[in-house]
Amino acid sequence: MKKPVLSVPGAEPAARRRTAPKHAETSDVRRFRGVLPASVLAAVAVVVALIATDGLAALRAPGPQSRPHQKAKLTCDACHRDGKPAATACPRCHGGHASRRSAHQDLRRAGEMTCATCHRIHRADEGVSFAENGSVWRYGSGWQRQIELSTLFRPRNAVSVALVPARACAGCHDLKSPRDPIAQCLLPGQESLGLDRPTVCFDEHRDITTIAGAGAKVAPGATTERDAAWEAAREAAAVVPTGGFGRGGLSRPLWWLGIGLAVGLSVLGVERGRQLLRDRKKKDATPEVRASAVVRLPQIDESTCLGCYACVDACPYDVIEVRRFVAVVARPDDCCGLTLCEQRCPNGSLVVRDGEPIEDRPRVGAALESADVPGLYLAGDLTGLPLIKNAINQGAEAMRGIAESLGRASGEGYDVIVVGTGPAGISALLEAKQKGLRALGLDQGSVASSIKSFPRGKLVFDQPLDIPLTGELWLEQSSKEELLAKWLRIVRKEKLEIVEHTRVVGVERASEGRFVVRTEGGGTHKARRVLLAVGRRGTPRTLSAEISEAAESTVFYSLADARSFAGQHVLVVGLGDSAMEAAIALAAQPSARVTIAYRGSGFRRGKAKNIAEVRRLVEAGRIELVLDAEVRRIEPRRVSLRTKSGDRTVDADAVIALIGAIPPWDLLERCGVSRR
């Protein structure tokens, strides 16, 4: 009998299972939208060209026919019937032409040599045709071309002379030996053609002296019509030795390929142009993302709310709950203004509207330019707009404003320096590249360091992102690793100029309207404009407790990969979402023990699912929760806590402090930017 599900008294209900993500077009799919029609039209062009030159027979397996067989209007049944080899059908039209050479006769009797050994139908069935009007045609399987030949040969009826490629003879003869009998059948100067060079020994089947031509009976030994045809064929083989190359250019198969490629590239170019035009129109029609002056919160009409959970399922931050069959805003501090809940509401009972004013935000004007320092721009969470999507839009918008204010790019130095390489900073650098501006990115950590600090496997929720130079990127429920991989791929592909591990300490205006960006250690960079995209996280808040020098390497202020703490006892300081997610991830590691120390008396804020999961793990003994506790001193494998009930010691191998961050207000003040 299965045990009942563990019930934790006082625990909030876990978040409902979210609806499965719907199908959405991403840049990875749309980027290749023009490839399909281009490929189809290219294939159609090849088929049309093939049919126009060689007819429908060229499309049949195993391949096209040569000119004499086309003239004879042969069908597949003419050679392939009765289940017999196709080579046995040749005598029905050409008669029994046994070889005059004894070695070839032995091979034929042994079944090792047939008509198809030399005359490879559909593959290498080559020769020369002489028409009654004096025109000369060099042909092969799937190709034919008229050639200019200075010969006096004029047959009474059309005559064809077969040319056998040396490839058919290479199995028995040494093509490079002058002593081999095959040397008499090869024309000089064609050694570079290798196995494709033609052989010109035409007396394989008939002796010229036995051919009764015009006047042969009157003057034995005189030139016959067949003899003249053979001599003319030798001249033709010297002019056009093969169908692939010669004095006339490329073969028709390569022309077909060229036609198909030209058509495909043309269609692909047209489709790409249309896509760029659509993107440009879309960008022109996109409204500016201004920094919000007030908090945007859902407002719910309780008299019409259906309690259908549509808004609860839509909100990725668990701001809304259903209580007594009516939706309510349970955690307003976690709301970031995303309107997915409003979009999912079936009857308009929920509307996202402006609430109370946002405090502590910099003063910015049009195009996100600082109202205090002209030429200095701000973007991202710093301006009061959270979410990755808003940061990307603001970064691109600020850079467009910078490009308009600068006009043409200067030839000296940087046009703009972007401080911070999170979503807003990367978007700004991409937009700068698109505008032709020389831009430099500076970051105190590494690219997308805020995303790297997320716990391994953390889900990131957001709407489709319209990234400059890249297109729309779908991130409805991406893990930290997926999001980080996408960012780094974009940075590598576009070759953005970014200097990592460089902390900016101030921005000053220099002469000639330029700015001087000062970095820690005395470094400086000059630019015509500066964009601050550092976010509100700033620098992680550190512990005020005494930390011994030997224990400094065991104190961390972020958790990148919980797997590295397997088998260890970890003390997590804090009880916000970041701290709870870190504790949950650590508790899932084999042989790991987790203790949470929090100075408060209980859960004050956080997502419902995180609170419920922590409570479940506490009840299961996977996590120890110590409330009303402050860290006093950290030593190797020993942490001293001060609690209401007295001092306590925790034997911890590592300490992860996730107690918030210090906003970058000091940096803004040093740059001359004031707050509201």
Q: Which amino acid is at 339?
A: T
Radius of gyration in angstroms for the set of CA atoms belonging to the chain, rounded to a whole number: 41
Q: Which fold has domain 542-659?
A: FAD/NAD(P)-binding domain (3.50.50)
pLDDT of residue 461: 52
| Residue 171 C-alpha from the chain's centroid | 48
Tokens linked to 353: 């509207």
Other C-beta atoms lying within 10 Å of the C-beta of residue 75: 13
pLDDT of residue 215: 41
Residues of the chain with pLDDT under 50: 1-24, 26-29, 211-222, 245-251, 286-291
Determine the Cα–Cα distance for residues 145 and 66; give it in Å rounded to an integer.
11
Strands (E) in 166-319, as ranges, are 198-199, 294-300
Torsion, Cα 216 218 223 228, to 10 degrees, reads: -50
Tokens linked to 641: 């806590």
Element containing residue 417 per DSSP (H, E): strand 414-419
pLDDT of residue 324: 87
Determine the Cα–Cα distance for residues 459 and 443; give it in Å rounded to an integer.
24
pLDDT digits (tens, 9 = 90+) for 312-332: 988 877 889 898 899 998 878
The phi and psi torsions of 65 (rounded to 5 degrees) equal -105, 160
Give span(s): CATH 3.50.50.60, the chain.
376-539+666-671, 542-659
- Which among 605, 18, 603, 536 has a CA at the least distance from the CA of 319? 605
- Which among 309, 470, 146 has a CA at the least distance from the CA of 138? 146
What contacts 24+ positions apart, CB below 8 Å, involve 481-489? 481/456, 481/457, 483/451, 484/448, 484/451, 484/452, 487/423, 487/426, 487/447, 487/448, 487/451, 488/447, 488/448
pLDDT of residue 469: 57
CATH architecture of 294-357: 2-Layer Sandwich (3.30)
pLDDT of residue 232: 86
Inter-residue contact 81 to 88 (CB < 8 Å): no
pLDDT digits (tens, 9 = 90+) for 370-411: 888 888 998 877 776 666 777 888 888 899 999 988 876 666
Inter-residue contact 654 to 570 (CB < 8 Å): yes
Give span(s): CATH 3.30.70.20, the chain.
294-357
Inter-residue contact 532 to 377 (CB < 8 Å): yes
- Give the β-pairing of 126-130 and 136-140: antiparallel
pLDDT of residue 21: 44
Determine the Cα–Cα distance for residues 71 and 138; give it in Å rounded to an integer.
14
- Which among 582, 607, 609, 554 has a CA at the least distance from the CA of 453? 582
Q: Which fold has domain 376-539+666-671?
A: FAD/NAD(P)-binding domain (3.50.50)
- Which among 316, 254, 241, 275 has a CA at the least distance from the CA of 21? 316
Residue 672 burial by Cβ neighbours in a 10 Å radius (0-12, 13-18, 19+):
middle
pLDDT of residue 614: 94
Tokens linked to 349: 């009972």
